Structures are given as C-alpha cells and as structure tokens.
C-alpha cells in the first residue's frame, strides 16, 4: 500500500436518504487522523475485482460531532449512482469493520473565514462540503446564507439539519415543488458587495451560478466552486495507452482512468485534483484511433478540438489505442 494512504475502518453506517449513506471512518489503530478544514475531501481507494482499482473523491462532512473534532473520525456521504461503479460497490460491500485506505485530506475548496459574508450554494449531494462549511461558519459566528437545492426533499441529505442549524438563513429548494428552479439571480442580487459564494453541485448548477454572478458584475474570484459529479461519461470502453518515450503499453479498463492505470503500472504522472480542474495532468497526444472524450474543465475548447492533449485524470479515448508523448 503506498505510504500516502491512511488505514481506516468503518465505524458506523447511517442511511441518510434512499440513495445516500454516511460512513464514519476512524483509524485502524485508534490514532488521531490528520486535521481537516471545511471544504476538504479525501481520496478513497477501492479495488473491487469486478471494476479494477479505482479512486473516488469524497468531501468530508465533518467528524464525530463538529468539523473541528475531525481528528478522531471523518464522515463521508456516498450517493449510490445508477451505474455499477464505485458508489454501488461501496453501498453493497462497506459495513461496520470494513478496512479501507484513504488519502490525507486535501482542500481545493477552502472557505475563507475573512469573508464579510459567505453565500453557500449546494446542489444534491454537493451538500457534503457545504454542510461542513455551514457548521464552520456557525461555530465562528460568521455572516452567511445557504441555498440547498435538490430534486425532492426526501433525496436531500442533511436537509433537516441544514434547516435546524441555519434557520431563516437557509433557502431549501426542491425542484419537484411548485417554485421551479432555484432563483439564482434573486439570490446573488440580494448579496452585499463583501459576499463570496461557494458552490458545490452538478456542472449545470455551477455554470448557471457563475454566469448569473458575472452578469450581475461579480468578480470571478468572488465565486468558488467544486464540481461534485463528473460530466456525463457516455459509453466507456477499455483501451490501451502507449507511452512513446518509454515504449511502455498500459491497459486502461472500462472503469479506470488513464491516470489510475499509469499509477497502477508503477508510473508517477503529475496530477493533483483528479477532477479535470487543476491542469497538472494533461499529456500530449501523438495518435488516437478514436475520438477523445474530454471531460475536464481546464483545457480550452480549441485545445480540446485539436485533440493534441488530454487530461489523463478524467478524459478517455473512445477507441482502442492512444499514443501519448510521455
């Protein structure tokens, strides 16, 4: 097991909604876990034979009671997706006592407690880092509002706790209710100039919120976001990657990223976010016998259209052979 992973076990499992389960993780030897801040996530390493070695990212919703006591335990909430991938494997097999490997917390969605006001916006399971932020702001008695939107109340994890904790500063919005979609324009327009927005949810919500804020004159740095669900993946196929410089060939399974396949083969590609956002992992493409499915948010439209590079953390080949200049 690589040293960068921590050994933990599942201490509790709680069904939050029909599709979302919360897992309380503690270290296997009872020692404290690395401290984490609101907005942080962990990488969870899972290796079911059926789908191969896979890394999934889960935001930490907090520890045993508050975010600050997270040294003794981490909580993650996992939504079961329709596809037979990591989340279904987790729901089907993780139970009290299951031993796991996780990375130390990483935080690319950091809450700035110096903000005059924080506007938290969560869509669906994107509530997980936002829930940690909410409790962090409450504990520090900071000024905030939270908008939480989902398909229906019964599918919205932590919705009762959000209402209880935030009171009239919470705007709960169910898309199945009479009000239609969340009114982002009204929400952003009502904010004072010292507000910073933190958005986590599907790409559509993030893009709509960013566009709304920009149209109202918000500077881009006042809007931070974390994409929770990856873009639609379409039909995925296994393929081989040839690394032209080293001459090595690596098989990329149907449910494995190029990055994970290279790492599993003992290589050390550069990466950080694993979500197609940071721009550390793109590699030059020399040949591809099929279209490249670009799923990152880092490369420009022109770069994607040229097919000359791809983010190996999220993008794939819809073909059988990809040659990279690496």
Q: Buried (b) or exposed (e) across 151-186, using 16+ Cβ within 10 A?
A: eeeebbbbbebbbebbeebbbbbbeeeeeeebebee
Q: Site residues (CB under 6 A) for ligand FES?
A: 271-274, 276-281, 296, 298, 311, 313
Q: Which C-beta is closer to ligand FES: that of 20 or that of 252?
A: 252
Q: Which C-beta is closer to ligand FES: that of 7 or that of 272?
A: 272
**CB of residue 205 to ligand FES, shortest distance in Å:** 21
Q: Which C-beta is closer to ligand FES: that of 45 or that of 162?
A: 45
Closest CA to 73 of 132, 18, 27: 27
Measured CA distances, 153 to 15, 78, 123, 165, 284 (Å): 15, 17, 12, 17, 45
**CB of residue 169 to ligand FES, shortest distance in Å:** 33
Q: Which C-beta is closer to ligand FES: that of 195 or that of 257?
A: 257
d(CA 121, CA 170): 10
Q: Is the dihedral of CA 34, 196, 218, 200 positive or negative?
A: positive
Q: Which C-beta is closer to ligand FES: that of 112 or that of 272?
A: 272
Half-sphere exposure of 156 (CA within 13 A, CB side): 24
CA end-to-end span of the chain: 25
**CB of residue 250 to ligand FES, shortest distance in Å:** 17
Q: Which C-beta is closer to ligand FES: that of 37 or that of 296?
A: 296
Q: Is residue 156 classed as helix, strand or coil in its secondary structure?
A: coil
**CB of residue 295 to ligand FES, shortest distance in Å:** 10
**CB of residue 309 to ligand FES, shortest distance in Å:** 11
Q: Which C-beta is closer to ligand FES: that of 4 or that of 160?
A: 4
Q: How far is CA 296 from the centre of its chain?
A: 13
The maximal CA–CA distance of the chain, rounded, in angstroms, is 61
Determine contact, residues 5/102, Cβ cutoff 8 Å.
yes
**CB of residue 106 to ligand FES, shortest distance in Å:** 11
**CB of residue 277 to ligand FES, shortest distance in Å:** 6
């Amino acid at each position: 097991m690589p040293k960068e992973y921590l050994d933990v076990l599942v201490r509790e499992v709680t069904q939050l909604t029909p599709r979302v389960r919360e897992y309380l993780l503690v270290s296997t030897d009872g020692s404290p876990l690395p401290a984490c801040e609101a907005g942080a996530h962990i990488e969870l390493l899972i290796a079911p034979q059926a789908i191969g070695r896979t890394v999934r990212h889960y935001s930490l919703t907090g520890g045993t009671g508050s975010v600050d006591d997270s040294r003794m335990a981490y909580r993650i909430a996992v939504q079961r997706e329709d596809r037979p991938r990591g989340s279904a494997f987790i729901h089907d097999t993780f139970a009290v006592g299951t031993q796991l490997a996780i990375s130390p917390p990483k935080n690319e969605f950091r809450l700035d407690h110096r903000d005059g006001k924080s506007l938290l916006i969560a869509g669906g399971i994107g509530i997980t880092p936002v829930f940690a932020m909410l409790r962090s702001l409450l504990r520090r008695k900071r000024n905030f509002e939270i908008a939480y939107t989902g398909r229906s109340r019964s599918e919205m994890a932590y919705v009762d706790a959000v209402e209880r904790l935030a009171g009239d500063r919470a705007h709960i919005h169910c898309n199945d209710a009479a009000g239609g979609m969340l009114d982002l324009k009204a929400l952003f327009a009502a904010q004072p100039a010292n507000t910073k927005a933190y958005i986590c949810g599907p790409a559509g919500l993030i893009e709509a919120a960013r566009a709304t804020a920009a149209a109202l004159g918000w500077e881009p740095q006042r809007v931070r976001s974390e994409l929770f669900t990856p873009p639609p993946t379409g039909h995925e196929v296994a393929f081989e990657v040839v690394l032209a410089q080293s001459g090595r060939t690596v098989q990329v399974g149907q449910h494995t990223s190029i990055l994970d396949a290279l790492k599993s083969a003992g290589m050390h590609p550069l990466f950080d976010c694993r979500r197609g956002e940071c721009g550390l992992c793109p590699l030059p493409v020399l040949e591809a016998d099929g279209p490249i499915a670009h799923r990152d948010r880092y490369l420009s439209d022109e770069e994607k259209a040229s097919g000359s590079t791809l983010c190996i953390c999220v993008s794939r080949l819809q073909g059988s052979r990809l040659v990279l200049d690496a």
